[in-house]
Amino acid sequence: MLEIRWHSRAGQGAVTGAKGLADVISTTGKEVQAFAFYGSAKRGAAMTAYNRVDDKVIMNHEKYMEPDYVFVIDPALAITTDVTINHKDTTKYIITTHLSTEELIKAQPKLEGKEVYTVDCIVIAQETIGRPIPNTPMLGAFMKVSGMYDIEFFKDSMKRVLAKLPQKIVDANMIAIQRAFDEVK
């Protein structure tokens, strides 16, 4: 079982990102689950979304999770919330920030001793898609860190997931995914 927790603000696309990732993984024969904590959240409120991936049907519906990966797609959340909650020794963190990994750990001591990767998904999304929607670049960074799929296979799969969007936006997303793949450290 692979488990992922997303930290996001409502409106940044964490749910779409989690469902998109689940969709891609499902095509490779694995079982998936993607869900989020809602409530009467307003755009901009801190929220979390989740992925589970396994070889057999996923029957666990508890919301509690000790994640293998934590994705933080809003830079401030790594500082203002505890993104290490319910962690394991092996939990890996991919965090959107303009800071270097060292600077980030200095700013958030809870990340000390953790396996932390950083990438600026906000800037990448703004420069490619034209809007600060950092979900697809985060998935590009995840492909690099996890080695889950070949990046070309992943981009092709995401083209299908995003097919309802205008071609220009799909193309921009592909550049964003590739840039995050290349830039994550």
Partner 1 sequence: MAFDKMELRDIEVWDGNFAAAQALRQAQVDVVAAYPITPSTPIVEGYAKFKSDNYVEGEFVMVESEHAAMSGCIGAAAAGGRVATATSSQGLALMVETLYQASGMRLPIVLNIVNRALAAPLNVNGDHSDMYLCRDSGWIQFDAFSPQGAYDLNFIAFKVSEDHDIRLPAIINQDGFMTSHTAQGVTTMDDDTAFGFVGTYKPMNDMLDFEHPVTHGVQTEEDWHFEHKARQHSDLMLKVSPKIDEVFADFEKLTGRKYSQVECYDMEDADVAVFCLGTSVETAREVATEMRAKGVKAGVVGLRVIRPFPFERVQEALKDVKAVAILDRSSPNGAPGAMYNEVCAAMYSHESSPLISGYVYGLGGRDLTKAHLVDLYNELETNVKAGKVTTQLQQFIGVRGPKLSFL
Residues forming the site for partner 1 (CB under 8 A): 18-19, 22-23, 26-27, 31-36, 38-40, 57-64
Tokens of 7: 């930290």
List, as one string, the DSSP characters of 141-183: HHHHHH--S-HHHHHHHHHHHTTTS-HHHHHHHHHHHHHHHHH
Closer CB to partner 1, 18 or 95, in the complex: 18
- State in angstroms the smallest separation of the CB of 22 from partner 1: 5
CA atoms within 13 A on the CB side of 173: 26
Amino acid at 58: I
The distance of closest approach from Cβ of residue 148 to partner 1 in the complex, given in angstroms and rounded to an integer, is 16
Q: Which is nearer to partner 1, 62 or 89 (CB)?
A: 62
Least distance CB 160 / partner 1 (angstroms): 10
State phi, psi for 25 to the nearest 5 degrees. Answer: -65, -40
Local structure of 54: helix, strand or coil: strand
CB of 32 to partner 1, least distance (A): 6
- Cβ nearer to partner 1, comparing 45 with 76: 45
- By beta-carbon proximity to partner 1, the closer residue of 63 and 106 is 63
Query: Residue 2: which of 63, 48, 70 has the closest Cα?
Result: 70
Q: Smallest gap, in angstroms, from Cβ of residue 3 to partner 1?
A: 13
CB nearer to partner 1: pick between 58 and 99: 58
